[in-house]
Amino acid sequence: MHPLVILAAIVAVSFVLLGVAPLRRQVVSRFVLGWYRRQLPAMSQTEREAIDAGTVWWDGDLFSGNPDWDKLLALQRPALSPEEQSFLDNETEQLCAMVNDWETAQIWQDLPPQAWQFAKDKGFLGMIIPKRYGGREFSATMHSMVVQKLASRCGVAAVHVMVPNSLGPAELLLNYGTEEQKNHYLPRLAKGLEIPCFGLTNPHAGSDAAAIPDFGVVCRGTWEGKEVLGMRVTWEKRYITLGPISTLLGLAFRLHDPDHLLGDKDDVGITCALVPTHTPGVNIGRRHNPLNAVFQNGPNWGKDVFMPLDWIIGGPKMAGQGWRMLMECLAAGRSISLPSSSTGYCKLAARATGAYARVRSQFKTPIGKFEGIEEPLARVGASLYMMDAARAMTAGAVDAGEKPSVVSAIVKYHLTERGRAVVNDCMDILGGKGICLGPNNFMGRSYQQLPIAITVEGANILTRNLIVFGQGAIRCHPYVLKEMRAAQSGDLAGFDAAFFGHARHVIANEVRAFFMAITGSRFAFAPSGAAPQLRRYYRHLTRLSSALAYAADISMLVLGGALKRKERISARLGDALSMLYLASATLKRFEDEGRQEADLPLVHWSVQDAIFRAADALDGALANYPSKVWGALLRIVIFPLGRHFAPPSDSLGHQVARLLIAPSASRDRLSAGMYMPRDASDPFSTLEAALAAAIDAEAVEAKIRAAQKTGSIRAAGGEDLTLVALAAKVITGEEVAVLKRAAQLRDEVIRVDHFPQDLGRAEALRPAQPQRAAA
Ligand SMILES: Cc1cc2nc3c(=O)[nH]c(=O)nc-3n(C[C@H](O)[C@H](O)[C@H](O)COP(=O)(O)OP(=O)(O)OC[C@H]3O[C@@H](n4cnc5c(N)ncnc54)[C@H](O)[C@@H]3O)c2cc1C
């Protein structure tokens, strides 16, 4: 038979087999299903619950290979209500004015008592609690803005406010509590009459929190004189924020029911209960000292503490549902607290360091004008623009009803990592000024405390290596979860639809990624609603999205369950996804803020950097691919002509750095939302005044330099050059005053604190002298 006839026959049979669904299911999908079930990685109940938790949002588009940019641009810009704005401008400012990092650490080892009381009275601890329970019922955007402002002033205040509003008793009660529990606790939590904490971490279970050995046993016991069904709980928790002063301990433990008093299961599962800390047997009160951050944090423990089943959040019917509850609530809190506090620290860092770099001169030049200093300054400014964009967009998503689990991991990881990088850069720019602690050091405490944000709410190495892509690949993928669910339940029709949809998806992304790579993304879609000068970025991002989606699919096919252990591949693919997210938030911010031309250097730098990093991450994944053959094949599709993305240029960096070292609307937008002390004697206020004075003085100094160059003035034998210039009428008397003011403010700014031999301990411990009564 002619080979063409054989080929035509094969094509025709394949067409019938694949095109006729009932036939395809029986002849193809049935066998694929069997194979797929054997490949499915073993997944524990807790892993399944973690993957199922939360919602898929813009991350789903980025993972699809073909993001719908119009959808992104149509997202509503988050805004505050008049009531929220007033709280931010008044109560939050007042709380900021009551605290600072130096006094909390050196004098109080805590928030000052009056600040604690103010925070409770004004409802800072009940921002997420609805008004009907006496709370503030603020939006996620507002919650984020409050935490950000507090963090720009005082880390302890930010932590003490964000923890009760994040994953903890209030959030769990709101979502799962019984009416009785809500009516009892929420009004008390809203007014600060209860101080909550949540204890999950055990010395033996940190990152692997589902493995907590803390346990409860269902039994009968006596409670308030009556015999009731309850549980005896034994636990040992550590690192619990607010724990040492808490009155209400949210507790996670594994519940057992050996006598089947609750049902037919021995191991009921992880359970969350609310335990008043005055309950006999609860040990609470000792403190850890987390990097001198002095927020309340400590261990707590109990042995065989009897408590009624009604203390389970949501009542006995929620016994065993604790892990699901925690995973479901994690996304909202993780989207807000640490991204907002990191952005707050960085706003202060960028604004103050930019000013310092202009005020501080060495080699007769403001240090901020040296190319070497421009390099870190550019990273600081552009990172902050991007961080704030991601913070605001993510909070907006939570307000729109999303619980974006993968996005929450992205912003938690990347905003805290960037926060660390920004603060490190600022420390280097500040030199000794950043190192000597004291009331005049605005950077040292942030530097000290940033590793805390890296460690908590999912330590960063784990989050990058295991969660972002590990969860994203399953949750954000348009077909994988459907395939897995159909395979697990043996649903052949469902599996068939998902599997063949998946196959079409892979081919589409392969073709798209290759085509866009060889055409330099020129023909990719860019939304007409986007600023023309930024449209090329949307095209590159679409190309990278297709490349990521294709690499992800091939990785799941080639590596299967082993992908879970190939953390460095997973981390790099997650980095690519994260960069797409951060870049899209940045582009969206530029549109939302009305396309501020002056901010373009910030946008160009941060998006170019993100695109470069995304390509770098994909390149790294391919270079280290466990199968060299597959790595090479992926490279042919993704980088057929090599990688053509470059990091931001030095001249772009120069433009960004210039935005930080002079007052401008861009600089104000960069630091919008941070606390600006009104007290003129505050070190930050002095720095701001010194910046303005330094710029005024520069013009006068230029006149003197020009006169020196032409030889019209000369200062001999230690003469004051300013007076010589004045005498020669090169400058006026007013200009002399300008120079004097700048010099005086510069002296104040560059000053660092010094202390007696005992570093002031004796003075700090000395009791206040009683006021003498008026005669
Ligand atoms: C100041 C502070 C406040 C806290 N507040 C609370 C609180 O209020 N309530 C509460 O319950 N807990 C709290 N925690 C606990 C916090 O969430 C845990 O510290 C965190 O989960 C990490 O656990 P660990 O410190 O035991 O580190 P470990 O689990 O020992 O991890 C050590 C390192 O190993 C890495 N790692 C672990 N597994 C993997 C993996 N599979 N792949 C790659 N890397 C991995 C981690 O990323 C980390 O870098 C707090 C901790 C601190 C320090």
pLDDT at 9: 65
Centre of ligand 1 to C-alpha 197, Å, is 17
Most ligand 1 atoms within 8 A of CB, residue of 198, 207, 460 to mutate: 207
The SS3 call for residue 216 is: strand
Catalytic residues: 457
> What are the residues facing 220 on neighbouring strands?
229
∠ CA 594-575-383, rounded to 5°:
40
Predicted pLDDT of residue 26: 85
pLDDT under 70: residue ranges of the chain: 1-18, 764-775
Any idea how long the chain is? Answer: 775
How far away, in angstroms, is 222 Cα from ligand 1 center? Answer: 37
Token pair listed for 263 = 């049902």
Ligand 1 pocket: which of 238, 456, 469 to mutate (most atoms within 8 A of CB)? 456
Q: Please name the amino acid found at residue 72.
A: L
The two tokens of residue 376 are 């870190």
**What is the per-residue pLDDT for 584?**
98
Tens of pLDDT, residues 99-134: 999 999 989 999 999 999 999 999 999 999 999 999
From residue 619, alpha-carbon distances to 64, 66, 128, 293, 622 in Å are 20, 20, 43, 39, 5
Identify the residue whose C-alpha is closest to ligand 1 atom 12.
201
Residue at 619: amino acid letter? D
Ligand 1 atom closest to Cα of residue 208: 29
Partnered with residue 250 across adjacent β-strands are 198, 274
Structure tokens at 322: 């604790």
Q: What is the pLDDT of residues 649-704, one digit of tens each?
A: 999 999 999 999 999 999 999 999 999 999 999 999 999 999 999 999 999 999 99
Distance 452 CA to ligand 1 centre (A): 10
pLDDT of residue 38: 82
Compute the mean pLDDT over every residue in the chain, rounded to the nearest whole number: 94
DSSP for residue 302:
E
How far apart (Å, rounded) are the C-alpha atoms in residues 445 and 99? 14
Per-residue DSSP letters for 483-537? HHHHHHHT-HHHHHHHHHHHHHHHHHHHHHHHHHHHTTTTTS---TTS-GGGHHH
Residue by residue, DSSP assigns 685-696 as HHHHHHHHHHHH
68 φψ region: left (φ > 0), alpha (ψ -120 to 50), beta (else): beta
Q: Would you state the structure tokens that stand for residue 259, as one six-digit string?
A: 């006598």
Asked whether 697 and 703 are in contact (CB, 8 A), the reply is: no
What 176-182 contacts at long range (C-beta under 8 Å, 24+ apart), as own/partner pairs, is: 176/313, 176/314, 176/318, 176/321, 176/325, 177/313, 177/314, 178/314, 178/315, 181/274, 181/313, 181/314, 181/315, 182/133
Give CA torsion, residues 60, 63, 65, 67, to 10 deg.
40
CB 670 within 8 A of CB 144: no
Token pair of 615 as six digits: 């390509």
Pocket of ligand 1 (CB under 6 A): 197-201, 206-207, 239-241, 290, 297, 452, 455-457, 459, 461-462, 465-466, 567
Output the CA 334–ligand 1 centroid distance in Å. Answer: 14
- Supply the angle between the helices 650-660 and 322-359 in degrees, to the nearest 10: 90
CB 625 within 8 A of CB 330: no
Kindly report the protein residue whose alpha carbon is nearest to atom 14 of ligand 1.
239
User: Atom 23 of ligand 1 has which residue's CA nearest to it?
Assistant: 206
> Virtual CA dihedral for 698, 372, 378, 407, nearest 10 degrees?
-150
Per DSSP, 106 falls in state: I
pLDDT for the residue 6: 66
> pLDDT tens, 190-212?
999 999 999 999 999 999 999 99
The DSSP symbol for 210 reads: G
Q: Which DSSP helix (H) or strand (E) runs through 269?
A: strand 267-276
Within 8 A by CB and 6+ apart from 59, the residues are 404, 406, 407, 410, 472, 475, 476, 577, 581
Please state, as a whole number, how many other Cβ atoms lie within 10 Å of the Cβ of residue 366: 18
Minimum-distance ligand 1 atom for the alpha carbon of 459: 47
At residue 773, the pLDDT reads: 42
Tell which atom from ligand 1 comes closest to the C-alpha of 288: 1
Antiparallel, parallel or unpaired: β 267-276 and 297-308: unpaired
Ligand 1 centroid distance, CA of 145 (Å): 26
Cα of 303 from ligand 1 centre, angstroms: 24
Among the listed residues 239, 447, 206, the one whose alpha carbon sits nearest the alpha carbon of residue 342: 447
Residue holding tokens 């490349």? Answer: 547
Our mutation pick for probing the ligand 1 site, out of 171, 455, 464, counting the most ligand atoms within 8 A of Cβ, is 455
Cα of 196 from ligand 1 centre, angstroms: 20
DSSP at 436 = S
pLDDT in tens, 48-94: 888 888 899 999 999 999 999 999 999 999 999 999 999 999 999 99
